[in-house]
Each structure stands twice: as structure tokens, then as C-alpha cells.
């Protein structure tokens, strides 16, 4: 996909912070389901929520399962500006791969740009055990705060969209216990 690919509307699938803080102007928002990928703490954070010596974890879209999120539509005249913003925000460390993927909404299926965790990148955490995930969340602290605070915020924001993630709640509870 190229940034200059016409002035057609563009949909973007948001599964994490883009849901509550898109950072771009949009013309429509719909709850959406992406099949084939799930929301997971699978990205090492070595600056914002951790350090290179003690990385924290942040969300990524990883292969398998399905994810409920928000599809945002940017009208054609907003497309270039939105893409420039998203590419700077999501692709600066190379851990995400942009893909146009089918998503399902109540009013029909559409293709949306999604940022998928790239398993070939060094910041991809891979298949961590529950205990490894908890330890990384418990110890992660970076320029923007702790990985625990990040995860608590994610859980609260997802709940405001009606999305419950019991697995993430379990990780947070265990990380808080370990931290104490």
C-alpha cells in the first residue's frame, strides 16, 4: 500500500491506544472484529515502559484468535495526513507491519489498515509464559511510567468500550502482587 494510493476513504483498525487516542481526524468510527489476530502483550518496551536492561511489555496484534476493536474511517481528503501520522507513530521502531485486512462490523465487512506485530523484529517478545509476562510487567519502568500503569490504563480503556480482557486482568493482578 502506498501513501499516494488515491483519495479513497481509508479504514484503520485500532485495538489498543489508537482506540481511545487515535491522534488523527476521522469521519466515522465503528466497533469491529478482526479475525486471525489477537491482542497480546508481545512487544518489548525499552524506552516508554521499560529500559534495554529491564524491558516492559506493551500490546501488539499477534497471530491467531480474534480481536474486538474500533475501525476508524478517514475520508479521502484526510487519508495522506492520517497515514503520515500513523506511519510515524506505529512504524518508528520497525516492530509493526502494516496490512490491509478484512474486519467485520455490524453494518458490513470492510478492509482496514492494521498494524501487526512482526515476529522477525528484535522487539517482538515471542511466546512468553504467563510468569515471564507477569515479571516483565512487574519490573518495567520507562520514560512514560510503569508497565503496570500502562496495563491498568489499557484494561480501563478497553472496558469503556465494553471490551473485557480477563487474561490481561490476571496478568495485572499477578504483576501487582509480585511488585508488592
Q: Write out the catalytic residue numbers.
A: 90
> Which residue is it, cell 480503556?
157
CB 34 within 8 A of CB 66: yes
Helix, strand, coil percentages in the chain from 3-state DSSP, rounded to 5:
30, 35, 30
CA distances from 117 to 26, 74, 78 (A): 24, 23, 26
CA distances from 16 to 5, 8, 53, 54 (A): 26, 25, 25, 23
CA atoms within 13 A on the CB side of 49: 20
Amino acid at each position: 500500500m502506498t501513501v499516494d494510493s488515491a483519495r479513497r476513504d481509508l479504514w484503520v483498525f485500532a485495538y489498543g491506544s489508537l482506540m481511545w487516542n487515535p491522534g488523527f481526524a476521522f469521519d466515522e468510527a465503528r466497533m469491529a472484529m478482526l479475525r486471525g489476530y489477537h491482542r497480546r502483550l508481545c512487544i518489548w518496551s525499552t524506552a516508554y515502559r521499560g529500559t534495554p536492561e529491564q524491558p516492559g511489555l506493551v500490546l501488539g496484534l499477534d497471530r491467531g484468535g480474534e480481536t474486538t476493536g474500533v475501525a476508524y474511517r478517514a475520508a479521502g481528503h484526510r487519508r495522506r495526513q492520517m497515514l503520515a501520522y500513523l506511519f510515524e507513530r506505529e512504524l518508528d521502531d520497525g516492530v509493526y507491519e502494516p496490512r490491509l485486512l478484512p474486519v467485520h462490523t455490524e453494518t458490513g465487512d470492510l478492509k482496514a489498515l492494521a498494524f501487526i506485530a512482526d515476529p522477525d523484529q528484535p522487539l517482538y517478545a515471542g511466546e512468553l509464559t504467563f510468569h515471564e509476562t507477569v515479571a516483565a510487567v512487574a519490573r518495567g519502568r520507562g520514560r512514560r511510567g510503569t508497565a503496570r500503569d500502562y496495563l491498568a490504563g489499557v484494561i480501563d480503556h478497553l472496558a469503556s468500550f465494553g471490551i473485557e480482557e480477563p487474561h490481561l486482568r490476571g496478568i495485572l493482578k499477578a504483576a501487582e502482587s509480585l511488585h508488592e
